[in-house]
Structure 1
Amino acid sequence: MKNDVHVIITAGGSGTRFSKSSKAAAKPKQFLNLLEKPVILHSLLKFQKCKEVKSIYISASKEYFNLLHTMAAKNKITKLKALVEGGKTRFESVRNAFNQVNCAVDDIILIHDAARPNVTMEDIGSLIKASQKYGEVILGVRVSDTVKRTSGSIIKETVDRNDLWLVQTPQAFRYDVLSRSYIIAGSKTDFTDEASLAEFAGYEVRTAEGSRYNIKITSNDDLLALKKIMK
């Protein structure tokens, strides 16, 4: 029997970096318009369409709950099970949503940033298949540029890029692995993603090749680029 898949979408970010780059950002980037749809809706529609996905949970600020409920109803996002209030950090927001997930211990949890609207159905499907086989798997792309380590603006070292990856979302974990990872981490919360949490807890996490067009919106330039890519 295949594992059920449950998705956590993080939509609680305030978009500080984005607001600094765009005077027009009156609300968080995940709710801005991208090709006549809110940024977050692009991901919601794909997870709704994915037959392996059983349920969707969104962590967000309470002030956007009504907007999200309306968006889900209008676009028939029937897999949405709960909106969960986000925490002060991304780590806390994901953990809050994870605590609301009701599933079997060997089910798969996908964690995805709402600010990545261009993840493909193909990448979602291949990630789920890899997770069903290996357990903990994350999307990413290999580093192709030359990488330098600096002190201030002074180059100190050229880093070997052969084993370096740029990490993306979704990231996939078995429910019980993520649950135990939170327990092992205890009060430690300085994790930038759930892969680093699982690594800290002693679990092996694999990489799966994603798309370079699975861009995270952190600036107005990213939004403009995605408008061209996704047309």
Structure 2
Amino acid sequence: MQKTRKTAGLIVAAGTGRRAGGGLPKQFRMLGGEMVLQRAARAMLAFEGLEVLQVVAAPEWLEKTDEALAILGDTRILPGVAGGDTRQESVLAGLEALTAQTPDLVLIHDAARPFLKTETIAHVVKALETAPGAVPCLPLVDALWHGGAAGLSSPQPRENLFRAQTPQGFQFAAILVAHRKAAPGMLDDAAIARAAGLQVALVPGDAQNIKLTLPEDFAALQERFMDIRCGNGFDVHAFCAGTHVTLCGLRLAHDRALAGHSDADVGLHALTDAIFGALAEGDIGQWFPPSDARWKGAASDIFLRKAVERARIRGFAITHLDCTLICEAPKIGPHAPKMRARVAEICGLDIDRVSIKATTSEKLGFTGREEGIAAMATATLVAQ
């Protein structure tokens, strides 16, 4: 029986990605609510044979890298390590870091390829049973020409020419030695392996395993990853003795108060639950349980700010919030503009993206009997 080989993944995410635009290194840009880096890491981790995953990042982006990967919640992910000025230097830094894990095989993948399939990984790993290296490749299908300022000059044969992809897989000890001895300026890890005399097998690539490089690469994916979320929230609090109520962040004089573990702001609670609902991340009680003394009497803007933060971390922009307060008293209409302004301030939104309105229940039910106040809310989120 063949011994199971320990397989490590190495993701190179130390580039600046200036050509891709967007103001951030491309590995931190969002696609459908998830970072490119997170998608690439998730794709690698989907391969059951992978035992550890090492990511290499630019020193100034290490903290953000670790924060982004922590969201995946996978214990196979190692703390990020600092890369160098070139991809070659960054790969070597990652390989050196992996020596402590003593892997048999390593799969070196570009963070800018977030659409990797497990079948491609499996092809590479299978080839490493008989070869020290393996690279997924696609045949060239376009016509090749020499040309210049004067136009096309001569056609070139495309037989036996391939487009190399990642992950490029190697027997770990062999590629580590090859990298340590390699001259600077090598094209990729396969080139380093060949320069060291290692055989590199060719395995089937995948046309969807594209590398994001230019602004148009991201633009072409916008429609594919259009992600619009809608969440609903509902909350209710009973009246108790007091002199004011807090609604949508405003303190209003009233002959009673609202009972609750926090400040009982029924409007902000409903809005918070609407955002958590759109994210499918539970409800306000899970994030801020009433059993936790920290939230006794707490201002509810804390809860709403957390939901807004979660939306931002997940890569969503809040495009609209709508809250309806259901009560006989106090009268909401005169205060609605200030409520809108307060909610907009808490959420970092323009006021025209916040709606606060009120209705009665026509003297019916607990709100009609003035036993309490209810609120319902809707939040609309769009992936950035």
Task: Name the TM-score, length of structure 1 as normaliser.
Answer: 0.89
Asked if the contact 1:59/1:96 (under 8 Å) is kept, the reply is yes
TM superposition shift of 1:104: 4.0
1:199 corresponding residue in structure 2: 194
Query: 2:9, 2:222 → 1: CA distance?
Result: 25
SS in 2 for 1:9: strand
Among 11, 36, 40, the alignment partner of 1:39 is 36
* CA shift for structure 1 position 71: 2.2
In structure 1, C-alpha distance between the alignment counterparts of 2:222 and 2:105, rounded to whole Å: 31
The yes-or-no answer on 1:81 pairing with 2:70 is no
Q: Is the 8 A contact 1:148 1:155 kept in 2?
A: yes
Matched, 1:67 2:64: yes
Match of 1:22 in 2: none
Offset, 1:230? 6.5
* Alpha-carbon distance in structure 2 between the residues aligned to 1:222 and 1:146: 22
Question: Are the equivalent residues in 1 in contact too, given 2:11–2:108 (CA < 8 A)?
Answer: yes
**Equivalent residue for 2:146, pick from 144, 149, 155:** 149
Cα distance in 1, alignment partners of residues 78 and 72 from structure 2: 15
Match of 1:169 among 166, 178, 182: 166
Q: Which moved more, 1:70-79 or 1:48-57?
A: 70-79
Asked if structure 2 preserves the Cα contact closer than 8 Å seen for 1:215 and 1:226, the reply is no
User: For 1:85-135, what per-residue CA distance to the aligned partner results, in whole angstroms no more than 9, with x for missing partners?
Assistant: 110111101111111113447x11111000000111211122211223323
Distance 1:120 1:183 in 2: 30
1:151-208 Cα distance to aligned partner (Å, 9 max, x none): 45543432211100011111001112112212432xx111121000111111111111
1:100 match: secondary structure: helix
Q: Check if 1:123 corresponds to 2:123.
A: no
Aligned counterpart, 1:99:
96
Q: Which amino acid aligns with 2:212?
A: I
Instruction: State the alpha-carbon separation in 1 of the partners of residues 142 and 23 from structure 2.
Output: 34
- Note if 1:108 corresponds to 2:108: no
Deviation at 1:227, TM superposition (A): 4.4
Of 44, 50, 61, which aligns to 2:47?
50
CA distance in 2, matches of 1:148, 1:110: 34
Distance 2:139 2:13 in 1: 26
Q: Tell me how far 1:26 sits from its aligned partner.
A: 1.3
Which structure has the larger Rg?
A: 2
Report deviation, 1:219.
Answer: 0.9
Deviations 1:10-54, CA, capped at 9 Å, x for gaps: 1011112212xxxxx111001000011000111111222221111
Q: Partner residue of 1:14?
A: 16
Matched, 1:219 2:221: no
CA distance in 2, matches of 1:228, 1:206: 36
**CA contact 2:194–2:200 (8 Å) conserved in 1:** yes
Distance 2:223 2:51 in 1: 32
Normalising by structure 2, we get a TM-score of 0.55
Note closer, same or farther for the CA distance 1:226–1:153 as it changes in structure 2 (3 Å cut): farther
Specify the alignment match of 2:257 in structure 1. Answer: none
CA contact (8 A) 1:111 1:172 kept: yes
Is this contact kept in 2: 1:48–1:78, CA < 8 A?
Answer: no
SS in 2 for 1:150: strand
Matched residues in 2 for 1:7 and 1:213: separation?
20
Question: How far apart, in 2, do the equivalents of 1:214 and 1:152 lie?
Answer: 33
Structure with the larger RCO, 1 or 2 (CA within 8 Å, 6+ apart): 1
- Give the direction of change, closer, same or farther, for the CA distance of 1:65–1:158 in structure 2 (3 Å limit): same
Q: SS of the residue aligned with 2:165?
A: strand
Task: Read off the aligned partner of 1:6 and give its amino acid letter.
Answer: A
Specify the SS of the correspondent of 1:80: coil
Q: How many pairs align?
A: 223
The answer on whether the counterparts of 1:58 and 1:82 sit within 8 Å (CA) in structure 2 is yes
Task: Give the secondary-structure state (helix, strand or coil) at the position aligned to 1:133.
Answer: coil
Identity among equivalent pairs (%): 26
What is the identity, as a one-letter code, of the residue corresponding to 1:9? Answer: I
CA contact 1:10–1:59 (8 Å) conserved in 2: yes
1:173-188 correspondence to structure 2 within 5 Å: 173-185=170-182, 188=183
